[in-house]
Amino acid sequence: QEFWKENPQHQKPAPDIKYQYAYNEAVQRNQLWLEDFLIQESEELPEIDFTVNWVKGGEDKVKELKASFGKKLQSVYITGEDSDVSEIEELSKAQRPPIFWKPDGVDVIKELVK
């Protein structure tokens, strides 16, 4: 949590995200509000920016979601062994992006060199 306070997002979510949070509370959906984005347990495709959905399940669930949503899925992370599901990332590597990664289009290397 300290990291997020020291490194806020460049963009802010629309006020609609608070309605999603209230809806989740009303239907007792597991969620976590981190001021600038909402993490929620849901198998639906997020309709609001700054929303992350998590789904519990095994390889069959990943295949089902990939078949349902295809390229609309931004990232699929796994915690177990290698899978034959294409385009997945190991959760252990989620916080270690490649050096050339540009979050929100910002070239971090150029910003650090300035």
The band of 4, judged by pLDDT with boundaries at 50, 70 and 90, is low
pLDDT at 28 (0 to 100): 96
pLDDT at 11 (0 to 100): 81
DSSP code of residue 101: -
DSSP code of residue 55: -
d(CA 6, CA 32): 19
pLDDT at 68 exceeding the cut of 90: no
Mean pLDDT for the stretch of residues 57-62? 81
pLDDT at 71 (0 to 100): 77
One DSSP character per residue, 11-28 reads S---THHHHHHHHHHHTT
pLDDT at 31 exceeding the cut of 90: yes
pLDDT at 95 (0 to 100): 61
pLDDT in tens, 84-109: 666 666 666 666 677 777 777 888 77
The band of 41, judged by pLDDT with boundaries at 50, 70 and 90, is very high
pLDDT at 98 (0 to 100): 74
pLDDT at 44 (0 to 100): 85
